[in-house]
Amino acid sequence: MTAKVELRDISLRYFTTESDTEALRSVSLNVGAGEFIAIVGQSGCGKSTLLSLVAGILKPTGGAVLVDGRPVTGPMRACGYMLQQDYLFEWRTVLENVLIGPEIQGLDMKAARERGVQLLRRYGLGEFIDYYPHQLSGGMRQRAALARTLCTEPDILLLDEPFSALDFQTRLALADEVSEILRRENKTVILVTHDISEAVSMADRVIVMSRRPGRIKAEHLITFAGAGGTRPKPFKARHEPEFGRYFDTIWGELEIHVGH
């Protein structure tokens, strides 16, 4: 399998007048086309930084990022980035929010509008396309943000803790929906999360990162024997016998100490 996304010995330092922060140190990673990987690590270990590098909005201090074998020089249409919160613009309707990507990229707006409406319908927001964001619930807003990300038709999805602002039940339900949608459309996904259960239940492979400076500490292929070869939905995966084992191993690797 050729790599869809390839990180070659990446390092990144943030410079400010007060400090020189080494956020990532020699990170190498291949993500295959259609693969769903999750990255877990403690706060501040450089997960968001890593996504920003793949998205092309940050340049690495060392190493190279390749998408489809070509070096990344700036933001690309192939990448869709979903941030930690929805950041829907309050002055735009739901549909107008979804269309911001095509507008910026200068795509055919008629086709984009059709796509946007269709995406919103599919995610249960068909009646809300002309509403303003403040009239939606948290889960609906996050679905609108997903539609916005997908409206430019990216092959690669970068998800930065997309469910962290939601309550637990909505979170579980949305995780099921989103992984279903992304798997069906055969997207390549990099999901960043604090939540080990979320990572294990959704991803094909979980990458564990060390504390700052972020390095890859371990990788785990996630397979569930019981489901007969097919990948169970995230909610079901949480009840598979392997789930607890993966969880415990990754928990141990994260060195989470309470009351340090």
Partner 1 sequence: MSVIDRDATAEPALPADDGRSEAYRAFLRAVRVRRWMIWVSQALLLVLFLVLWEIAPRAHWVNPMLTSYPSAIVSAFDRLVLSAGNEGNIFHHTWVTLVEAVVGFVVSMILGLAVAVALWWSTFLYKVIDPFLVVANALPKIALVPIFYIWLGDTTSIYAMAIAIAVFITILMIFNGFQEIDPNKVKLVRTFGATRAQILAKVVLPGSVPTMIAAMKINVGLALVGVIVGEFQSSKAGLGYLIVYGSQIYKMDLVMTSVSILAVMSTVMYLAIAAFERRIQRRRQ
Ligand X SMILES: Nc1ncnc2c1ncn2[C@@H]1O[C@H](COP(=O)(O)OP(=O)(O)OP(=O)(O)O)[C@@H](O)[C@H]1O
Residues between 16 and 35 with contacts to ligand X, criterion CB under 6 A? 16, 21, 23
> Collapsing DSSP states into helix, strand and coil, what is residue 18?
coil
Choose which of 25, 47, 115, 220 interacts with ligand X (CB under 6 A): 47
The token pair that represents 248 in the structure block: 């415990």
Choose which of 3, 7, 37, 49 interacts with ligand X (CB under 6 A): 49
Residue 49 near partner 1 by CB under 8 A: no
Give backbone dihedrals phi and psi of 35, rounded to 5 degrees, phi first.
Answer: -85, 150
User: Looking at 37-45, 59-67, 102-110, 200-208, which segment touches ligand X (CB under 6 A)?
Assistant: 37-45
Choose which of 112, 125, 144, 152 interacts with partner 1 (CB under 8 A): 152
Report the partner that residue 168 touches, choosing among ligand X, partner 1, Mg ion, none (CB closer than 5 to 8 A by kind): none
Residue 213 near ligand X by CB under 6 A: no
Pick 96 or 195: Cβ nearer ligand X: 195
Q: Which of 77, 185, 65 is nearest to 123 (CA)?
A: 185
CA distances from 250 to 41, 154, 218 (A): 10, 30, 9
The token pair that represents 40 in the structure block: 């877990």
Q: Where are the alpha helices (DSSP H) in the chain?
A: 47-55, 94-98, 100-105, 109-122, 138-150, 168-184, 196-202, 234-237, 241-253
Pick 136 or 191: Cβ nearer ligand X: 191
Total residues binding ligand X (CB under 6 A): 14
**CA gap 113, 99 in Å, rounded:** 7
User: Looking at 96-104, 175-183, 193-201, 243-251, which segment touches partner 1 (CB under 8 A)?
Assistant: 96-104
Residue 69 near partner 1 by CB under 8 A: no
Q: What is the per-residue burial (b if ≥16 Cβ within 10 Å, else e) of 161-182?
A: bbbeebeeebbbebbbbbbebb
Q: Which of 158, 246, 151, 254 is nearest to 197 (CA)?
A: 246
**CA gap 250, 42 in Å, rounded:** 12
Residue 77 near partner 1 by CB under 8 A: yes
Give the shortest CB-107-to-ligand X separation in angstroms.
Answer: 30
Residue 83 near partner 1 by CB under 8 A: yes
Residue 48 near Mg ion by CB under 5 A: yes
Pick 41 or 116: Cβ nearer ligand X: 41
User: Looking at 84-92, 162-170, 199-207, 221-229, which segment touches partner 1 (CB under 8 A)?
Assistant: 84-92
CA distances from 127 to 130, 132, 137, 162 (A): 8, 12, 14, 23
Residues between 150 and 209 with contacts to ligand X, criterion CB under 6 A? 194
For ligand X, the binding residues (CB under 6 A) are 14, 16, 21, 23, 41, 43-49, 194, 212
